Amino acid sequence: EGWDPTAETVIDFVNTIYHSDILVVVLSTLALDGACFRKPIINTLFGSLFVGGKDISHVMAATTHYKWVFDTKGTSVARSPEELKNLINEYLLNPDKNIENRHVFAERLCYALDGKSSERMANAICDIFQMHENRLKKTSTAGMSIVA
């Protein structure tokens, strides 16, 4: 992979999602980002994977990791260019269509949307270090005897 985005790239990426009206994705984790911003999300199940000249894009939808996304019903699915066009038009006319399911999607798969994920990560790392330190103390004092 080797992709190491700059701060500017990340800012541009977040702004692109924030200012978009709709996200069209190909079974991507980008759908999670869109859900956090409560954007309409359309998954395309056509035109992205071909084997022997046959479009088998829909096969990717059967993967276990993406089943969780579909179970929330927080994204719409387009199986053809015509369906994609219709869904885009529907969302442009009614951006709140399916918003309840987008809330479920974000809450179920993104956990807390309070802006404190870095704080939780730092606390988890500190907890791991503390547990490790406590284990070291226990093992280093296990063979000692106290003489009074």
Helix (H) or strand (E) holding 25: strand 23-25
Structure tokens at 57: 């894009």
Full pLDDT tens readout for the chain, 148 residues = 677 889 999 899 999 999 999 999 988 889 999 998 999 999 998 888 788 888 877 777 777 778 888 889 999 999 999 999 999 999 999 999 999 999 999 888 887 778 888 899 999 999 999 998 888 888 766 665 555 5
- pTM comes to 0.73
Question: From CA 120, how far away is CA 122, in angstroms rounded?
Answer: 5
N- to C-terminal Cα distance for the chain? 61
Length of the chain (residues): 148
